[in-house]
Amino acid sequence: MKILYCHQHFTTPNGAGGIRSYEFARALVEAGHEVTMVFGMRGGLGVTMRPCERTGNQIGEIDGIRLIGLPFGYSNRQSIRERMGIFLGFAWQSLRLALREDYDLIFATSTPLTAAIPGIAARWLRGKPFIFEVRDLWPELPKAMGMKNPLLLGGMWILEGLAYRSSVGCVGLSPGIVEGIQRRSSDGHPVALIPNGCDLDIFHPGLRGSIDVPGIEPGDFVAGFTGAHGRANGLDAVLAGAAELKQRGNHRIKFLLIGDGSEKARLMAQAEAEGLKNVIFLPSMPKKELAAITASLGCGLMFLDNIPAFYRGTSPNKFFDYLAAGIPVVNNYPGWLAEMITEAQCGAVVPPSDPVALADALERLASDPEGCRSMGAHARQLGENQFSRDALATKFRDFLESNAGVKNPIRHE
């Protein structure tokens, strides 16, 4: 089967960012399918690309996956207007590819929601089966985060419903996302829960060692956050916890924040203004370099802003990296991940926006190395038993194969 796979933010293990689409596409190739990945070009991809004289796009190949890079680089440092232009430009160019490429099934993954547009067009104009993967619920999530523009919210609502109704099946990354899809889909519409997973061969406890970063001394307990520094991530809670520890005179617990985003410059300036020498910032880095640091952390921070839509509606890559690395996870918002951490005894759950509770939890972990080792072992076991990337990739492949034969009843090629 030939599959056109659209993911605007695709990257590889040699780059920085989540590699779910790379791993899933590789699993499809290993099963004998042909995969063409369409994505937006950006730095840090980790693959050599070359210009295509006929189309002007960038083309390449990795592990049997054919690559088509479109000239729409993205950063969450950009303004909303800039990002909207990039999203729409990528959707338009992807749509053009969807109307002329040779394939049997089109798969598109959000975010952004506009990633569904080429799939919708392929479904109704070419009769191609379309499967849509939902990583965030739109417009529910933007509305919960304070978006008020009725035109944007209304447009998202229409596009979301059209995407579900045009697809022959959907994939949701969390229980809340699956429930949201089912609410707006017809009865019996195939929906699979396939969360983000653990790259057990990349992240593992065997990489554990010292952290060679200025500001971190031998014997420090390091709580790390490895992900986007955007508004949704609620990293002001880290600074509040750091200020509480500073006030207590505890200088041996350090916070290491690795990543990039629209809030990073402000957070760095605030940390400097408050004299928070226990907060250290690093830029995004390739996955393999990140894996060694992650395994060496005292714990991983799973932080988000306190928005109820996040409780069951997210599936963050960093959480699964922490599990694979075999380190305790400290979570600061309720929901399905907090419930899992508590049940598996693989970390600590603290109330949102409570720097005292955060400082208390970190001091308990820092003073109990044996307890941390036990929690880390439970984390790795949870990752192996329930979130192995290979097992999830097999489930993904089976779902695509089982729905690939569904045709558009209005028009066939």
Q: Where are the domains of the chain?
A: 2-197+388-403, 205-386
* Percent of the chain predicted with pLDDT > 70: 97
Which has more confidence, 405 or 263? 263
Q: Average model confidence (pLDDT) for the chain?
A: 93
| Mean pLDDT to the nearest integer, 113-141 | 94
pLDDT of residue 378: 98
| 99 pLDDT tier (thresholds 50, 70, 90) | very high
Residue 388 burial (CB count, 10 A)? 16
Tell me whether the CATH fold assigned to 2-197+388-403 matches the one assigned to 205-386.
yes
pLDDT of residue 186: 86
**The CA-based dihedral angle spanning residues 68, 69, 70, 75, taken in that order and rounded to the nearest 10 degrees:** 150
Write out the H or E segment, with its range, that includes residue 124: helix 116-126
CATH fit for domain 205-386, picks 3.90.120.10, 3.40.50.2000, 2.60.40.1120, 2.60.40.290: 3.40.50.2000
pTM of this structure? 0.93
- Of 17-26, 66-75, 165-174, 209-218, the least confident: 66-75
pLDDT of residue 199: 95
pLDDT of residue 127: 95
131-163 pLDDT tens trace = 999 999 888 888 888 888 899 899 999 999 999
If you write DSSP's letter for every residue of 139-162 in order, what string do you get?
Answer: THHHHHTT---HHHHHHHHHHHHH
| 409 pLDDT tier (thresholds 50, 70, 90) | very low
CATH number of 2-197+388-403: 3.40.50.2000
Using alpha carbons only, give the angle 368, 369, 371 rounded to the nearest 5 degrees: 65
| 57 pLDDT tier (thresholds 50, 70, 90) | very high
Which candidate, 42, 25, 130, places its Cα nearest to that of 78? 42
Whether the predicted pLDDT of 411 surpasses 80: no
